[in-house]
């Protein structure tokens, strides 16, 4: 690991795999019976690194994985991940042969999509396992069913799809649009529509072994909706879907911390402009530190003159504009800062904590975007019980 440490002295992310395991255990404790967990690892496992995270989740007992597209599924298969993988959105029908080759479960988003997928599978001589996606309130992909009056027609349409050749309809699911809002009326409405379609199909003799609808928020809030499987995403990584849920559902452990180091320290007199466009002038003599992290690493420009980082357990403010590759910090109040001093962009430094949620609040977004935005030039270093066990370097693999 010494060579890895040398590579990581610029800016790096630390991912604690044992925290992922603990988060899976917490989720499991809230489930009943044989309810399964589909761990969502799309978008490079929310910036945490898809392959190491997927393997850690499987070791922790997660039965299935969910990805956004076929390429993400193939990446996991080529890395030796063997559990069922569902592509939770659209895949072009002409990819039927590759779906079968890599044993990937495909979402069917419409009758037209199903017919084309069936035709392509028949032509390729393969059988595909599919899940039916029902749109009960997101207005994204899926069979449209936003009203009670649409249930019967949608059920007939899905029944026809389930009878198509070369498709095995193993599952049916929907996605909640507002499960992280304190008012649960819309989520209850979505769930009722979902169950009405399922019940109507059952009357026609069509049933599914996997019915699922719960994202992270619903997994925590609505145990009566867990059905056969839940699909947690953000809580796997120790973050909550919305800020109000931090107090309501404590104990989830953020798996990722972003670190950098001081590359230079300098003393400035009063009235010195700092960084691009002179948006900050030193109000008095200041000591500043330059750190090699910028918006090309995922520390977005909107944090200019607004963000903070942690040095030696203390918060220090961003001074001036965040650059593509560097950011300047006011370290006047922090003694003993020098070249090579470790800086926590977000995470824990001693007793001090600066969370991805807090960074998100500063720039008007959500923690999902903060962690997903960490650029591929930032190496990921994986820890178990405080010890480094693996490194993911996209530039120098």
Q: Which long-range contacts (CB under 8 A, 24 or more apart) does 281-285 make?
A: 282/319
Q: Please indicate, yes or no, whether residues 211 and 347 belong to a single structural domain of this protein.
A: no
Q: Please indicate, yes or no, whether residues 89 and 232 belong to a single structural domain of this protein.
A: yes
Q: How many domains does the chain contain in total?
A: 2
Q: Select which of 55, 249, 259, 276 is catalytic.
A: 276
Q: Please indicate, yes or no, whether residues 120 and 266 belong to a single structural domain of this protein.
A: no
Is 42 among the catalytic positions?
yes
Question: Rounded to an integer, what distance in angstroms lies between the CA atom of residue 28 and that of residue 26?
Answer: 5
Q: Please indicate, yes or no, whether residues 261 and 205 belong to a single structural domain of this protein.
A: no
Q: Please indicate, yes or no, whether residues 84 and 49 belong to a single structural domain of this protein.
A: yes
Residue 6: the pLDDT is 52
Domain with residue 289: its CATH number is 2.40.37.10
Q: Select which of 42, 133, 259, 286 is catalytic.
A: 42
Question: Rounded to an integer, what distance in angstroms lies between the CA atom of residue 82 and that of residue 77?
Answer: 7
Q: Please indicate, yes or no, whether residues 195 and 277 belong to a single structural domain of this protein.
A: no
Q: Is residue 175 part of a domain?
A: yes
The angle, 0 to 180 degrees and rounded to 10, between the axes of the packed helices 111-124 and 151-162 is 0
The residue segments making up the domain with residue 208 are 16-236
Decide which of 236, 266, 299 is a domain's last residue: 236
pLDDT in tens, the chain (397 residues): 444 445 557 999 999 999 999 999 999 999 989 999 999 999 999 999 999 999 999 999 999 999 999 999 999 999 999 999 999 999 999 999 999 999 999 999 999 999 999 999 999 999 999 999 999 999 999 999 999 999 999 999 999 999 999 999 999 999 999 999 999 999 999 999 999 999 999 999 999 999 999 999 999 999 999 999 999 999 999 999 999 999 999 999 999 999 999 999 999 999 999 999 999 999 999 999 999 999 999 999 999 999 999 999 999 999 999 999 999 999 999 989 999 999 999 999 999 999 999 999 999 999 999 999 999 999 999 999 999 999 999 999 8
b/e for 179-214, b at 16 or more Cβ within 10 A?
bbeeebeebebbbebbbbbbebbeeeebebebbbbb
Q: Please indicate, yes or no, whether residues 145 and 28 belong to a single structural domain of this protein.
A: yes
Q: What is the DSSP letter of 275?
A: S
Question: Rounded to an integer, what distance in angstroms lies between the CA atom of residue 106 and that of residue 74?
Answer: 13
Residue 7: the pLDDT is 52
Q: Is residue 393 part of a domain?
A: no
Domain with residue 85: its CATH number is 3.20.20.10
Q: Please indicate, yes or no, whether residues 301 and 231 belong to a single structural domain of this protein.
A: no
Q: Please indicate, yes or no, whether residues 174 and 316 belong to a single structural domain of this protein.
A: no
CA angle 65, 41, 67 (to 5 degrees): 65
Q: Please indicate, yes or no, whether residues 204 and 298 belong to a single structural domain of this protein.
A: no
Q: Please indicate, yes or no, whether residues 134 and 224 belong to a single structural domain of this protein.
A: yes
Is 133 among the catalytic positions?
no
Residue 9: the pLDDT is 73
Q: Is residue 278 part of a domain?
A: yes
């Amino acid at each position: 690991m010494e060579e890895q440490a040398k590579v990581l002295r610029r800016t790096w992310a630390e991912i604690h795999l044992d925290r992922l395991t603990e988060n899976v255990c917490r989720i499991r404790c809230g489930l009943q019976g044989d309810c399964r967990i589909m761990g969502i690892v799309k978008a490079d496992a929310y910036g945490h690194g898809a392959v190491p995270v997927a393997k850690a989740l499987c070791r922790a007992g997660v039965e299935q994985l969910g990805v956004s597209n076929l390429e993400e599924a193939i990446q996991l298969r080529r890395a030796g991940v063997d559990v069922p993988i569902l592509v939770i959105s659209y895949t072009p029908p002409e990819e039927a042969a590759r779906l079968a080759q890599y044993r990937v479960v495909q979402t069917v988003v419409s009758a037209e999509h199903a017919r084309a997928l069936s035709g392509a599978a028949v032509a390729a001589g393969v059988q595909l396992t599919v899940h039916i996606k029902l749109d009960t309130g997101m207005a994204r992909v899926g069979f449209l069913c936003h009203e009670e009056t649409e249930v019967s027609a949608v059920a007939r349409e899905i029944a026809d799809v389930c009878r198509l050749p070369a498709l095995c309809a193993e599952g049916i699911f929907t996605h909640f649009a507002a499960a992280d809002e304190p008012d649960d009326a819309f989520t209850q409405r979505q769930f009722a529509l979902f169950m009405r379609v399922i019940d109507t199909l059952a009357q026609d003799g069509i049933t599914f072994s996997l019915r699922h609808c719960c994202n992270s928020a619903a997994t925590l809030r609505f145990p009566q909706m867990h059905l056969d499987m839940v699909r947690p995403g953000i809580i796997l990584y120790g973050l909550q879907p919305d800020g109000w849920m931090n107090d309501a559902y404590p104990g989830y452990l953020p798996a990722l911390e972003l670190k950098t180091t001081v590359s230079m320290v300098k003393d400035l007199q009063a009235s010195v402009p700092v960084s691009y466009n002179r948006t900050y002038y030193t109000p008095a003599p200041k000591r500043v530190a330059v750190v090699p992290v910028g918006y090309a690493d995922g520390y977005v420009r909107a944090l200019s003159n607004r963000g903070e980082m942690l040095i030696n357990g203390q918060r220090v403010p961003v001074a001036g504009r965040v650059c593509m590759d560097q950011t300047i910090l006011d370290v006047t109040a922090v003694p003993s800062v020098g070249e090579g001093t470790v800086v926590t962009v977000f995470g824990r430094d001693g007793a001090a904590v600066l969370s991805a949620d807090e960074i998100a609040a500063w720039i008007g977004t959500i923690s999902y975007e903060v962690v997903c935005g960490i650029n591929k030039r930032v190496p990921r270093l994986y820890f178990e019980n405080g010890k480094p066990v693996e490194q993911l370097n996209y530039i120098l693999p």
